[in-house]
């Protein structure tokens, strides 16, 4: 088993078989977390660099743990200013990293496409850990893995993605991944936060929770914030939560055995009520545990899939 | 030195002439056209099987000097123009030091006189510093020699400012060139809004950012009786607005750039910053509308919007990268390959859009025609020569066409009777390389 490309840049171009490989490998890596010594020698002698141009705790730690459990050496490079601001071109950056003979580069960047531009210029494997509003493939793989674990299958499930779809990279990755795996996708949110052109991807769109959640098997929430870019798109968080907060009442429209996931850090009371977040349908904490195993699987498969 | 070009196919879109014959260039002018002309001391150049056309005119070029000589200079930009077949170019006012004062215009003229290889016609700014706050001295700029007024690179956002610009410019007889863009709709966008912006995760620029301003400026030109020219039209809606204004006899002309009939937004799908320009590449439907507007005549002019940038401004993330691509050296082969060979325009129709049409719109006397008495600005084209895009005399390398195989090359170029390009190469590299 392996992935076709040297990099994992997005879900857009991953095949059904590749996604299944990640899910299968992740399942075997889950077991390692239960051992007293949580380490296998799969990536011994390899170096993983976490290159984060944007602050992130969860994703960085998850990758760091994944790499360490595979016996790789890990370096964290917090590069909090963009290339343009530092006067460094992407080519300069690529050459610098190449010169350090790093095997894997996990990149988080506020600018969409930056990991792709970097990956073109270097031999190391690049893993996109979130680029602007573009993609966050490992988060989608975690959500797919969790769905498969809980439901036993993905094909034919109806999945609702709710929130700021326009700016959510996880939502974009989830749309590609879910469509590839044969799920039905409905996007729910205020019209201004649903990006244009999605009809070409074969998804349903709803502006109402009651209508959109009807018969849904899985719910994936994304974080909604009052950012500067949302100034002209969203009146207020209060207005948002009044119509789109996932409450127990609204959850009743979904299937009885619905699964509730969140693909980021929660904004309680805005996109999810505390009762739902901590309720019986929620697998939000399990997603975090699964995340380490999925990241291990991705590193393992990019290394060629040989133990 | 005088020249006699023998046995060329003389094509003059200004008169419709299309015949095999000779043309005699003497003392910087076209002295005679006809069959079997005698050299009378002129050097004879055999141009059999080649097209002899009026020197090409590019009415939309960013030369960057003064102030951004790291991107381009008048010397390098005019060399790129010459090798691309252009004998005249119109340079925009958004130079490092803005062309909003006669002294800056004077500097450009003097540089062009000493180091320029082709004719340089500057455009003056509409507003001081291109800031949109107050009009420049149109009369003084006209006396300094500008051929048009434009804040190109920025839009004159304030409608009252644009209205008075059109009114005032009409009184001094100058054309106002509109860079039509609603900055609020553009926001921080970098590609066309829709499927492309969604899938790339980049903020989108809706087509309405351009279309609404084109419509506004057409209405203001109608109200004021001003002379308006729409730069780099790229959307179906803009072309519709221009066509409807032209039908109402509003004095509005319109240009497009080769990338809008050659490429679509798909060229940005791998985050290639050399395909990032403003307006951004549009949908296939818009591209087809641009082609049909070229055919119908709504768009009478093709201009490169040559916008050189440094590597540091392009080799960064897509959103942060500078807008603009170079075009002086690719416009002629793109026109020939994608419009003439593709069957959309005849060679004569295509040539009109880069010769007599811009000359007439800008009222450049003696330019854009082969007629006797005109300036001896001549381009000799081999329309079937294969060119692989990749080498540039421009300082910029920001072209999405690198590696493409196209047809059409300027074999000889004469500017004011002086030969500057021979057999597809500059006549004297050395004379213009050092300064």
Catalytic residue among B151, B152, B182, B305: B305
Tell if the CB–CB gap between B202 and A134 is shorter than 8 Å: yes
In a domain, A191, yes or no: yes
In a domain, A75, yes or no: yes
Q: Are both A171 and A266 inside the same structural domain?
A: yes
Distance from CA of B196 to the nearest CA of A (A): 8
In a domain, A115, yes or no: yes
Cross-chain CB nearest to A89 (options B196, B204, B316) = B316
Point out which residues pair with B431 in neighbouring strands. none
A89 vs B: CB within 8 A: yes
In a domain, A48, yes or no: yes
Distance from CA of A177 to the nearest CA of B (A): 13
Q: Are both A121 and A146 inside the same structural domain?
A: no
B196 vs A: CB within 8 A: yes
Q: Are both A204 and A283 inside the same structural domain?
A: yes
Q: What is the pLDDT along chain B (435 residues), one digit of tens a residue?
A: 899 999 999 999 999 999 999 999 999 999 999 999 999 899 999 999 999 999 999 999 999 999 999 999 999 999 999 999 999 999 999 999 999 999 999 999 999 999 999 999 999 999 999 999 999 999 999 999 999 999 999 999 999 999 999 999 999 999 999 999 999 999 999 999 999 999 999 999 999 999 999 999 999 999 999 999 999 999 999 999 999 999 999 999 999 999 999 999 999 999 999 999 999 999 999 999 999 999 999 999 999 999 999 999 999 999 999 999 999 999 999 999 999 999 999 999 999 999 999 999 999 999 999 999 999 999 999 999 999 999 999 999 999 999 999 999 999 999 999 999 999 999 976 555 444
Tell if the CB–CB gap between B316 and A134 is shorter than 8 Å: no
Q: Are both A213 and A235 inside the same structural domain?
A: yes
Q: Are both A280 and A295 inside the same structural domain?
A: no
Structure tokens at A281: 């349908």
Which of B183, B184, B189, B198 best tests the A interface by mutation, with the highest count of A CBs <10 A? B198
In a domain, A1, yes or no: no
Query: What is the count of structural domains for chain A?
Result: 2
**Cα–Cα distance for residue pair A190/A164, rounded to 1 Å:** 8
Q: Are both A128 and A111 inside the same structural domain?
A: yes
Q: Are both A99 and A159 inside the same structural domain?
A: no
CATH number (domain holding residue A15): 3.40.50.1370
In a domain, A129, yes or no: yes
Q: Are both A28 and A164 inside the same structural domain?
A: no
Tell if the CB–CB gap between A195 and B198 is shorter than 8 Å: yes
In a domain, A245, yes or no: yes
**Cα angle at B7 between B2 and B12, to 5 degrees?**
80
Q: Name every chain A residue with its beta carbon within 8 A of the beta carbon of B315.
A: 89-91
Residue B131: how many other CB atoms lie within 10 Å:
12
A108 vs B: CB within 8 A: no
B265 vs A: CB within 8 A: no
Interfacial B residues in 94-133 facing A (CB < 8 Å)? none
Q: Are both A150 and A269 inside the same structural domain?
A: yes
Q: In this predicted complex, what is the ipTM?
A: 0.92
- What residue of A is the nearest CA neighbor of B190? A112
Tell if the CB–CB gap between A196 and B320 is shorter than 8 Å: no
Q: Name every chain A residue with its beta carbon within 8 A of the beta carbon of B205.
A: none
Residue B305 is among the residues annotated as catalytic for this protein: yes
Write out pLDDT tens, residues A107-127. 999 999 999 999 999 999 999
Q: Name every chain A residue with its beta carbon within 8 A of the beta carbon of B319.
A: 111-113, 132
B204 vs A: CB within 8 A: yes
Q: Name every chain A residue with its beta carbon within 8 A of the beta carbon of B317.
A: 82-84, 90, 109, 111-114, 117
pLDDT interval class at A85 (50, 70, 90): low
**Cα angle at A169 between A163 and A175, to 5 degrees?**
75
Q: Are both A41 and A72 inside the same structural domain?
A: yes
Distance from CA of A55 to the nearest CA of B (A): 18
Whole-model pTM: value is 0.94
In a domain, A224, yes or no: yes
Cross-chain CB nearest to B316 (options A84, A135, A169) = A84
Number of H helices, E strands in chain A: 12, 9
Q: Are both A89 and A184 inside the same structural domain?
A: no
Q: Are both A170 and A125 inside the same structural domain?
A: no
What is residue A268's DSSP assignment?
B
Q: Which domain holds residue A248?
A: 137-287
């Amino acid at each position: 088993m392996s992935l076709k490309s040297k990099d994992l840049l997005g879900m857009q171009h991953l095949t059904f078989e590749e996604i299944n490989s990640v899910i299968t490998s992740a399942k075997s890596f889950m077991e390692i977390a239960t051992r007293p010594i949580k380490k296998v020698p799969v990536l011994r002698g390899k170096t993983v660099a976490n290159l984060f141009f944007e602050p992130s705790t969860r994703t960085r730690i998850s990758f760091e743990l994944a790499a360490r459990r595979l016996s790789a050496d890990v370096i964290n490079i917090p590069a909090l200013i963009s290339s343009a601001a530092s006067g460094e071109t992407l080519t300069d950056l690529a050459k610098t990293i190449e010169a350090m003979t790093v095997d894997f580069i996990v990149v988080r960047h506020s600018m969409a496409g930056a990991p792709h531009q970097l990956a073109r210029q270097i031999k190391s494997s690049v893993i996109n850990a979130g680029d602007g509003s573009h993609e966050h493939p490992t988060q989608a793989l975690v959500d797919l893995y969790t769905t498969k674990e809980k439901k036993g299958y993905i094909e034919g499930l109806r999945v609702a993605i709710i929130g700021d779809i326009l700016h959510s990279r996880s939502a974009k990755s989830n749309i590609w991944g879910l469509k590839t795996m044969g799920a039905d996708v409905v996007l729910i949110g205020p019209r201004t936060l649903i990006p244009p052109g999605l009809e070409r991807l074969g998804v349903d769109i709803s502006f109402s929770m009651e209508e959109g959640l009807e018969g849904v098997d899985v719910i994936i929430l994304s974080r909604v914030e009052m950012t500067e870019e949302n100034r002209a798109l969203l009146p207020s968080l209060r207005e948002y939560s009044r119509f789109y907060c996932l409450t127990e009442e609204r959850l009743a429209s979904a299937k009885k055995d619905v699964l509730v996931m969140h693909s980021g850090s929660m904004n309680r009371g805005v996109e999810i009520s505390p009762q739902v977040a901590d309720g019986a349908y929620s697998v939000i904490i399990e997603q975090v545990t699964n995340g380490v195993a999925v990241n291990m699987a991705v590193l393992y498969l990019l290394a060629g899939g040989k133990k | 030195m005088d020249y006699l070009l023998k046995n060329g196919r003389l094509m003059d879109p200004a008169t419709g002439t299309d015949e095999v014959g000779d043309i005699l260039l003497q003392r910087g002018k076209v002295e005679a056209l006809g069959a079997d002309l005698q050299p009378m001391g002129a050097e004879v150049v055999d141009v059999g099987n080649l097209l002899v056309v009026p020197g090409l005119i590019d009415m939309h070029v960013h030369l960057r000097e003064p102030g951004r000589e790291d991107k381009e200079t008048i010397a390098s930009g005019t060399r790129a123009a010459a090798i691309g077949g252009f004998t005249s170019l119109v340079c925009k006012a958004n130079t490092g030091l803005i062309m909003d004062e006669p002294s800056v215009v004077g500097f450009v003229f003097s540089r062009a006189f000493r180091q320029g290889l082709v004719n340089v016609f500057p455009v003056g700014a509409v507003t001081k510093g291109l800031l949109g706050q107050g009009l420049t001295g149109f009369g003084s700029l006209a006396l300094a020699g500008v051929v048009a007024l434009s804040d190109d690179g920025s839009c004159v956002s304030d409608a009252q400012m644009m209205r008075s610009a059109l009114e005032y410019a009409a009184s001094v007889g100058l054309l106002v060139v509109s860079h039509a863009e609603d900055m609020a709709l553009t926001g921080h966008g970098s590609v066309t809004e829709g499927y492309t912006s969604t899938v790339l995760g980049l903020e989108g620029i809706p087509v309405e950012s351009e279309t609404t301003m084109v419509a506004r400026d057409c209405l203001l030109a109608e109200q004021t009786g001003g002379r308006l020219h729409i730069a780099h039209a790229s959307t179906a809606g803009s072309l519709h607005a221009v066509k409807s204004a032209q039908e109402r006899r509003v004095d509005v002309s319109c240009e497009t750039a080769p990338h809008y009939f050659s490429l679509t937004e798909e060229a940005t799908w791998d985050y290639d910053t050399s395909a990032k320009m403003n307006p951004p590449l549009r949908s296939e439907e818009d591209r087809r509308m641009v082609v049909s507007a070229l055919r119908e005549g709504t768009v009478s002019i093709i201009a490169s919007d040559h916008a050189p940038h440094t590597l540091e401004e392009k080799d960064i993330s897509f959103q942060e990268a500078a807008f603009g691509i170079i075009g002086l050296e690719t416009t002629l082969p793109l026109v020939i390959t994608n419009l003439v060979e593709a069957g959309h325009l005849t060679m004569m129709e295509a040539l009109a859009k880069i010769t007599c049409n811009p000359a007439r719109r800008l009222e450049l006397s003696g330019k854009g025609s082969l007629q006797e008495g005109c300036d001896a600005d001549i381009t000799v084209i081999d329309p079937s020569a294969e060119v692989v895009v990749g080498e540039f005399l421009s300082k910029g390398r920001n072209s999405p066409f690198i590696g493409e195989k196209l047809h059409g090359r300027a074999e000889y170029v004469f500017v004011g009777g002086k030969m500057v390009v021979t057999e597809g190469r500059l006549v004297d590299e050395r004379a213009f390389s050092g300064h």
